[in-house]
Amino acid sequence: MRRVVIVGASLAATHAIEALRQEGYQGDITLVGAEPHLPYDRPPLSKAALQDGPDTTELLLRPPQWYVEHAVDLRLGQPATALDPGLRRVTLEDGTELPYEGLVIATGSQARSLGPADQGVPVNTLRTLDHCLTLHEQLAPGRHMVVIGGGFIGLEVAATVRRMGLDVSVVEMAPVPLTRVLGDEVGHWFSKYQEGNGVRLHCGSVLDGMEPSSGGTRVRLLDGVSLSADLVVAGVGARPATDWLEGSGLALSDGVLCDSSLRTAAPGVVAAGDIVRWYNPLFDEEMRVEQWSNAVEQGRHAATTLLGTDEPYAPVPYFWSDQFDAKMRFVGRANAADHVHIERSDESSLVALFGRDGVIRGALCVNAPRQLAVYRKAILERIPWGDVVRNDG
């Protein structure tokens, strides 16, 4: 193989490049990115970088020199618009056609919009460095921010700006935040924690509409509540950036469908990061995860698959979230748990375990880092639920 193209210049791509070179690949590497920036880190965008203002140099995943040392041909600010797997060719927005022998698809996720509700009023989203800069410039103590959506990004933004002295209201459709993924008990803990830090939560509330009003935005909820906002942030989730692959013949279904080694059905095409839906044999489940450590590991794994190995990618997923002083760490899966056990819960810490089909599958620890490794091992070894949780009916 002499020519690899990687589309999507971010976390998974950087680690794919690193693995290709470490494994001895000496051919061409072309990195295509829609954004004008070198690959940068996203988790700080809802945390320190939002508070202090994003520093483009500090956020870079690798310094500019690294791309020279790794002989990477950079095509930044140039989205890919089409893929022809038959001809093994990627087309860019300016009409450039890039032939490849190996292709890594790493175009990640993009923020969902509110749909018709955000017509005619300024609504912020938070996915890119430029979004973070735009949002940061609007932050000033005393201003009122309304966050639509009480998921992790919404709650992190709420925590960051509340600490900066803004008033914050979070509107969440579910009766408690995070409940869909983590269940009611965990959701209630985060509700209480956020409210204890001065964030106002409007749960079980559906957005009815928004309109401009005296220098800001009036946010109307279906239950009749009306909120006057200086700025609005939509934190309503992300969707895989697969638009450019429509018509390519690749199987797309909430992500790019891959086998357990991260290969697509097209010859020489693998995928990595937020965009991948693959079968994880450890959990006997097809999954797509939007998590930092997954993008790192999948970037590396997809690169070695491209070079000819055939190992299944079977990790215990891991992610973190920081809100005020709560450092949450999660390992495994919580979806469709048939048992949730609260191991510990107090004002500042929480440990919750998630079981399904008789084994432990997930563990959430807030300000309890040491337990995480123990539960990760238990998940990996598929330890019976009854051995991990002795007093759970």
Ligand X SMILES: Cc1cc2nc3c(=O)[nH]c(=O)nc-3n(C[C@H](O)[C@H](O)[C@H](O)COP(=O)(O)OP(=O)(O)OC[C@H]3O[C@@H](n4cnc5c(N)ncnc54)[C@H](O)[C@@H]3O)c2cc1C
Binding segment for ligand X (CB under 6 A), chosen from 53-61, 158-166, 226-234, 291-299, is 291-299
Q: How far is the CB of 291 from ligand X (least distance, A)?
A: 4
Binding segment for ligand X (CB under 6 A), chosen from 18-26, 31-39, 343-351, 353-361, is 31-39
The answer to whether 315 contacts ligand X (rule: CB under 6 A) is: no
Q: How far is the CB of 331 from ligand X (least distance, A)?
A: 11
Q: Sheet harboring 256-258: ordered strands across?
A: 256-258, 276-280, 285-287
Instruction: Answer yes or no: are the C-beta atoms of 108 and 181 closer than 8 Å.
Output: no
3-state helix, strand, coil in the chain (%, to 5): 25, 35, 40
Q: Could you tell me how many residues of this chain bind ligand X (CB under 6 A)?
A: 35
Binding segment for ligand X (CB under 6 A), chosen from 42-50, 166-174, 187-195, 207-215, is 42-50
DSSP-based three-state secondary structure for 340:
strand
Q: What CA–CA distance (Å, rounded) separates 306 from 270?
A: 7
DSSP 64-86: HHHHHHTTEEEEET--EEEEETT
Binding segment for ligand X (CB under 6 A), chosen from 7-15, 114-122, 279-287, 373-381, is 7-15
- Options 171, 274, 303, 317; binder of ligand X; rule CB under 6 A: 274
For ligand X, the closer of residues 84 and 208 by Cβ is 84
**174-189: buried (b, 16+ CB within 10 Å) or exposed (e) per residue?**
eebbbbebbbeebbbb
Q: What CA–CA distance (Å, rounded) separates 49 from 36?
A: 18
Q: How far is the CB of 80 from ligand X (least distance, A)?
A: 4
The answer to whether 295 contacts ligand X (rule: CB under 6 A) is: yes
- Options 54, 85, 102, 108; binder of ligand X; rule CB under 6 A: 108
Instruction: Answer yes or no: are the C-beta atoms of 305 and 12 closer than 8 Å.
Output: no
The answer to whether 8 contacts ligand X (rule: CB under 6 A) is: yes
DSSP state at residue 252: B
Binding segment for ligand X (CB under 6 A), chosen from 19-27, 101-109, 368-376, 379-387, is 101-109
Q: What CA–CA distance (Å, rounded) separates 290 from 274?
A: 5
Residues that bind ligand X (CB under 6 A): 7-13, 32-35, 42-43, 45-46, 79-80, 106-109, 126-127, 153, 241, 244, 273-274, 290-292, 295, 319-321
